[in-house]
Structure 1
Amino acid sequence: MGDSATPVDYRAVVPRAELDVEAAVPAVHRIIEEVRVRGVEAIRELSQQHDGVAPERLRVPAAALVEALESLDADVRAGLEESIARLRVTSAAELEREVATEVAPGARVTRRIVPMDRVGLYVPGGLAPLVSSVLMNVVPAQTAGVGAIALASPPQKDHGGLPHPTILAACALLDVDEVYAVGGAQAIAMFAHGVGECAKVDLVTGPGNIWTVTAKRLLKGVVGIDSEAGPTEIAILADDSAEAAYVAADLVSQAEHDPLAAAVLVTDSERLAHDVERELEKQVLATRHIERIRISLGGTQSAIVLVDDVDQGVEVVNAYAAEHLELHTVDAAALVPRIRNAGAIFVGAHAPVSLGDYCAGSNHVLPTGGCACHSSGLSVRAFTRTVQVVDYSRDALAEVAGHVVALAEAEDLPGHAAAVRVRFEG
């Protein structure tokens, strides 16, 4: 990776996808404007163009939700229920409490925690029906006490223009009855502007493809967003102690999401690198989505990166800021405090990303594309706001009145000073 005596900007050399948000902006901007101006008609046309089907009605009938749950495979339902139970536990633990502070006698500042009034949750359904994303969006929103929840997922040609039935079943299981058969950038635009039966929301959350992520970036400000959670990525920091079969399997597990998915191994062991390459050749042939995985692993966003030692590897993965970071090293837990940038960290050989995708109790809606250096994964906090409540008595105000006046005059804002003086005149 270069001479250790020379500072290296690892962010400039780590693997990244060629297609980025900026490249998608012009096309997505047109979609957003079409939806804003022409509403439901535009969404139906875009659905026909991108999903191959135009639903007669965007909102999913209640009967379809009930039918989907009744038809749900028992094992799948059991898996969903366990995932929901674990996620409810961790979400409840994240709930923040109101904090009141007496800064002086008669001077109180309270931080209130207020849930969002209405949110729009997005669940991908293109290459894979991500039923688990229903749980990851809905459970923290419900735990936060959100007033109204709407959910959108792409219409499926094979399912009569409705979202995938497993996604509908999960919605029914969680008592979410406002569901829309709308996908991609047009779904984000629908939530942001309010179209047809879907009233405008305050916040949009959820992962998606590059078009969905671009729409969230363009509409930020019109509506709140959680983070830019796009095509999935995994980075694995491993040393010579790692099991090559585990490492390869975990790289494949994320590559199967999307041809744009990123799979990066960072290691100081040439032996492990070669062993993982051999394992990948063997394991990819045994998968169902061979072509998709091969494109992902062969893209510019995926690579095996050799480093001098684990210390340098830590710096590289911090620069990469992965959505998912696995640590397969001797005493992996000891490295955790040194990881500054990651959406989620999976420690040791028995915590694969797949666990976090479903049943760990963690949330799998995480920042991608290097955004983990400034953004967090989805949690209860995303669905709440803080409101400052200032409560001062006359005596408490009098104690700091002189300071307020002095600071107001220093900023040449005499009206600010007068608003304090008037309370003590006469």
Structure 2
Amino acid sequence: MPGTRNAFLISQATIVNEGQQSVADVLIENGRIACIGNNLSAPEGVEVIDAKGLHLLPGFIDDQVHFREPGLTSKADIESESKAAVAGGTTTFMEMPNVKPPTVTIERLEEKYALGASKSWANYSFYFGATNDNLQELKKVNPRNVCGVKVFMGSSTGNMLVDEEQALRDIFTHSPTLIATHCEDTPMIKANEEKWLEKFGEDIPAAEHPNIRSREACYKSSSMAVKLAKETGARLHILHITTADELELFEPGPVAGKKITAEACTHHLWFSEEDYATKGHYIKCNPAIKTQSDRDAIRQALIEGRIDVVATDHAPHLEEEKHNPYFSAPAGLPQVQQSLSVLLDLVKQGVFTLEQVVEKMAHNVATLYEIEERGYIREGYWADLVLVDLNKPHTDLKDEVLYKCGWSPWEGHEFSSSVIGTFVSGELKYYQGEFADFTPGQRLLFNR
């Protein structure tokens, strides 16, 4: 059972790390990986966990979540969603600024960090939100302890749509840290909405969503972001790529040293437009889930390193809201409790190898964001680890959903694997279906 101990010996786990698998023991002391080896002896007072037959992975580092706090806590909050994340094998998250009020000043950013310090089960970082007119605040962002600057180059919440060309250029020129962008062209989307409204009226079918939030709107915005990054020398990371067309904008190969990188999300790797027929607005998200050929191209781009990391864009809404007509049904779906299980199912299906999943969900995120001493199973690093049983199926059941919104897009699906235990900064927060008493995760630091 999980508890308050912070010294453990994980015995005979199959470690998946840095492109290899090997059976070994891992000693955790004072929050860190003290030793990796064979036939290690447990010092006095160290709890031994028999992991024979289990796989030990670095914890999922999710670089894009929406935990809805402050201001939208009827849908989710940092405590509820981080707890669900830990149950799903995510040890670290980076959370977005489109809350109420939006995180567009240093004061509001630090207020969120205070919330994280008191409420988050997992390790955490929060993005600063760029607007058309907060450049001077943006320049104050500390790259040492803030994951990045978020730019909504598409529809967003409140005053967070950056649609002035000079404002964008200034942000790209002066941002002190990585810029993460949501790329969709708003004027194109608005024009499409008018056309589809005329055709269908207010109750537009969910399956039309990828036609409204079109591939052309994605490409126009993504290509503009890449062009700006090349002209200004900005460090650009484009979130949630959804089309095969956009892949030409990125170079294949290892992530280290890249100035322009890209992300894919679990729902875009799993669902395709065919799923709107059964899932409807439950899988409505921005940018939209598109064709099976787009999905397959994104999968291949991950394999070849054209897309560098996997995240979730976890974005919960109340279930009753998803039953609204098209224009009032919100976009976004909850995922963090099953995100690792989704990827492990794709391994089972032969889409990815286990080593590739570890690279994209942990190693590359740590490298891309320059996270200090996390993302790898290395002696001296923080012990952010997840034990999984690849031969223990579990079904996504409604009464086991930990999200505050109470639903999951995978409800009823039997996953091929199960998360057995999750260590966050050396503490066993979740083990065999039970949680330890709450202790907060840690604020991320970055080697910048």
Q: Same fold (TM over 0.5)?
A: no
> Rg larger in 1 or in 2?
1
TM tier relative to shorter chain: under 0.3
* Higher relative strand content: 2
Higher relative contact order (Cα pairs below 8 Å, separated by 6+ residues): 2
TM-score by length of 1: 0.27
